[in-house]
Copies of this chain bind each other. A is one copy, B any other.
Amino acid sequence: MEKELTVTFRSLCPMATGLDVLGDKWSLLIMRDMLFGFKTLFNEFKESPEAMPSKMLSNRLKKLEALGFISRHKGVHNKKSVYYFLEKKGMETLPFMVELMVFTTKFYYDHLGSTYTKDVKTRMKNDKENYMNEIIFNYKQFRRNIVI
């Protein structure tokens, strides 16, 4: 077989650009916390098990906002609060997050063998599309109903 670069290979070249954001631990954690944990406030993100330092958090929130992944809203009733929401662009990182999760679980956390990893793996394998749609649906519903 000839060593010819395929069409897809050429498209993959700019992969690095996406990794600037998606390859970053903190940025992805923030978006995960939003989408799966319905978090909106600075302090909520800080409370995550990964214990993100406030410097990092602040830095990444700005970056993600500047790039259009998330949006920032001052509280209406509670003027001291600032609410962060995932935007369309941020939501579209879900397939990426899911693949990362699938991979990580498979190769590093299989030994956990607990119920939840089995559930997730089964769901991801047999029903990925519906599963992702549900997650997005739930987040949108959450956002519609939240009073800031």
Q: Which residues of B contact A97 (CB under 8 A)?
A: 12, 15
In the bound complex, CA of A107 to CA of B99 (Å): 19
Q: How many copies of the chain does the oligomer comprise? A: 2
Complex interface bits, A19-32 against B, C-beta within 8 A gives 1, otherwise 0: 10011110011001
Q: Is the interface of A mostly helix, strand, loop or mixed?
A: helix
Q: Which residues of B contact A78 (CB under 8 A)?
A: none
Interface residues of A in 119-148 (CB under 8 A from B): 119-120, 135, 138, 141-142, 145
Q: Which residues of B contact A75 (CB under 8 A)?
A: none
Residues of A within 8 A of B (CB): 1, 3, 5-19, 22-25, 28-29, 32, 36-39, 49-50, 89, 92-93, 95-109, 116-117, 119-120, 135, 138, 141-142, 145
